[in-house]
Amino acid sequence: MKLPSLDGNEKDKNKKSPGLPAIDDKGLPNVGGFDLPQISDEIEAEDFENFEDDFEEEQYEDFGHAGDGFRDVDIEDVLNEEDDFNDEIYKDVDNIMNEESQKLPSTSYHEEDYYATEDDYNPDYEDDLENNKKKKFIDRKNKRIIPFGGRKSKRKVKSSDFDDRKNLLAKTKVVRFIIMVITLFMFLLGLKNTFLPSHVYTDEQIKQFAREGAGQTGFPRERGEAFVEDFMKVYLTIDRSRPDYNEILAHYYGENSYTAIKFDQKNMKTGIDVKQYVIIGPTVYDVKLLTDYSAMYRVSAYVSNVDGTETDGSNATGRWLSFSLNVYYDEQNDTLAITPDSPTIIPSYKIGRQVNVPERAPFGNGEVNKDIGPAINPTINGFVQAYAESSVSSHEAILQYIDDKNDISLYDGFGGTVKLNGSPDTAIKRTIYNNDDGVYRVDLTINWIDTVASGNDNKVEYVGKYIMRVKPEGDGKYTVSSFVPYTYYRK
């Protein structure tokens, strides 16, 4: 009698599995040369009859003969009865297995020590390996072979070969590349300008730039301004009936007689009957100190009409003229001269409209204080009245209103040349502002009358705007710490 194969495969009976006992032809394990009792394929008749008689006797002892009925058995005796029929066989098998397990080879063998045979074939495992290879190298969805080859591949693999989704980082890479190119360009340009500058100034030019910035050129600036203004006043005065004007002009050209001046030296031609007079100016508006020996001046003047008239009824007939003049300074002889290219007429300076000037920023912290007025108004009124009469030689009356008695700017006033046009309450308009330092700022608009030019019926009035600082001294007393004309700061 043989035991059935574990998987039904006849070839498995020859398969050698390390560590497990072999199964012989009888279907029972054979371990370490020890043979279990063999079971014969055929049972002899004599033995079978003896076995049958023994079985009947045992059956009778337990249950009685057939037909006699079952004998009564106590259930406790059945439950407590031990079946030790196969105990001896089980013990022998356990001992054999324990001895054999000590002889089993170690399972921690290296993979290279094991050699697969045809008996190791596993169709499921082989199919899994084949499917993995197909998934790795075959794109079944797009019906194409995925490129491979690693470093040895001649074809460059792109992400688009594996992923059809749109690369959202493409624009970012382009912008990043552009920024890097610009940065590199600026870096290279900086290196070029550092080591190969386009223009190198000489030491003399650098010194000259420094002197111009500090206003320390050797050219006599104030002297040149006076020279240019006087020259242009004579230059713009034209009257052939007054030959003395021409002789005066010759003086500014460094000549003793007007006849010594050549025609092209003046840079101006006039008709025989032209008469022109200077009404306003000329005045220097701009100065550029070029070198120690040269400077450029720009001047403007208001002149009459070419017939000598200033007005035509109620309208002015004059005009504004502007010129540019280069002046040469001879340091050795200490002389000034107009260069041959001068004067050159230029466009007149443009004047902006006053109504287009932005509003002035408020004083102090911008917070108007209407409650403090009654307390400091006596100080404001008393100071303004005393300031109109005060002077360096006579200022005793104003000292009680000022904070610093030694500050000459607070008591060097008009000296009686002006007075208030009315009472302080009507001639003085005021707005008081708070400030974080505790000193009040007062915006003052004062109406003055020129006492020297005005008579009883005819008077000249002026409106002045000032900023006053009023400092609290305690005990209800206030003093003036500053009184200056308006300073403009755009709002």
Total Cβ atoms within 10 A of residue 53: 10
**Cβ(258)–Cβ(246) below 8 Å:** yes
Q: How far apart are CA 442 and CA 478, in angstroms?
A: 13
At 388, the amino acid letter reads A
Least confident interval from 69-78, 178-187, 312-321, 337-346: 69-78
Total Cβ atoms within 10 A of residue 449: 17
* Cα 62 → chain centroid: 106
- Whether omega before 243 lies within 30 degrees of 0, making that bond cis, reads no
Total Cβ atoms within 10 A of residue 357: 10
Q: How far apart are CA 183 and CA 172, in angstroms?
A: 16
Global confidence as pTM: 0.48
DSSP-H helix ranges across 43-158: 45-63, 75-80, 87-101, 123-137
Q: How far apart are CA 289 and CA 209, in angstroms?
A: 10
pLDDT in tens, 248-260: 888 888 887 777 7
Q: How far apart are CA 67 and CA 396, in angstroms?
A: 162
| Of 219, 208, 211, the residue nearest 334 (C-alpha) | 219
DSSP result, 23-34:
E-TTSSEEBTTB
For residues 436-442, average pLDDT: 91
Least confident interval from 12-16, 180-184, 216-220, 411-415: 12-16
Q: How far apart are CA 24 and CA 3, in angstroms?
A: 10
Helices 243-252 and 221-235: crossing angle in degrees, nearest 10, is 150
pLDDT in tens, 291-341: 888 999 999 999 888 877 777 667 777 889 999 999 999 988 889 998 988
Question: Would you kindly state where each structural domain of the chain is located, as residue ranges?
Answer: 10-101, 217-351, 373-485
Six-digit token string for 133: 């290879």
| Of 288, 480, 483, 458, the residue nearest 379 (C-alpha) | 480
Asked whether residue 432 carries a pLDDT value surpassing 90, the answer given is: yes
Question: Do 217-351 and 373-485 agree at the fold level?
Answer: yes
The residues that bridge with 294 in the sheet, in sequence order, are 328
229-234 long-range contacts, CB within 8 A, separation 24+: 229/281, 229/282, 229/283, 229/284, 229/299, 231/325, 231/338, 232/281, 232/282, 232/299, 232/301, 232/323, 232/325, 232/343, 233/278, 233/281, 233/282, 233/301
Query: What band does 152 get if pLDDT is binned at 50, 70 and 90?
Result: very low
At 427, which helix (H) or strand (E)? helix 424-427
SS (H, E, C) 375-406: HHHHHHHHHHHHHHHCCCCCCHHHHHHECCCC
| Max avg pLDDT among 29-33, 49-53, 178-182, 215-219 | 178-182
pLDDT in tens, 226-236: 999 999 998 98
How confident is the model at residue 94, as a pLDDT?
Answer: 72
Asked whether residue 441 carries a pLDDT value surpassing 60, the answer given is: yes
How confident is the model at residue 211, as a pLDDT?
Answer: 65
pLDDT in tens, 378-422: 999 999 999 999 999 888 889 999 988 888 989 899 998 999 988
What φ, ψ does residue 316 adopt, rounded to 5°? -75, 140
Listed in sequence order, the residues at least 6 apart from 408 whose beta carbon sits closer than 8 Å to its beta carbon are 392
Q: How far is CA 363 from CA 25, 31, 410, 428, in A?
A: 121, 115, 20, 18
DSSP state of 72: P
Q: Which residue has the tokens 């009315």?
A: 422
Asked whether residue 490 carries a pLDDT value surpassing 80, the answer given is: yes
How confident is the model at residue 149, as a pLDDT?
Answer: 54
How confident is the model at residue 151, as a pLDDT?
Answer: 44
Q: How far apart are CA 446 and CA 485, in angstroms?
A: 11
SS3 143: coil
For residues 411-438, average pLDDT: 91
Average pLDDT, the chain: 76
pLDDT in tens, 51-65: 555 555 555 555 455
CATH class held by domain 373-485 = alpha beta
At 227, which helix (H) or strand (E)? helix 221-235
Query: What band does 430 get if pLDDT is binned at 50, 70 and 90?
Result: very high
* Cα 42 → chain centroid: 104
If one compares 351 and 427, the residue with the highest pLDDT of the two is 427
For residues 143-154, average pLDDT: 56
CATH architecture for segment(s) 217-351: Roll (3.10)
pLDDT in tens, 211-228: 666 656 678 888 999 999
The residues that bridge with 296 in the sheet, in sequence order, are 288, 326
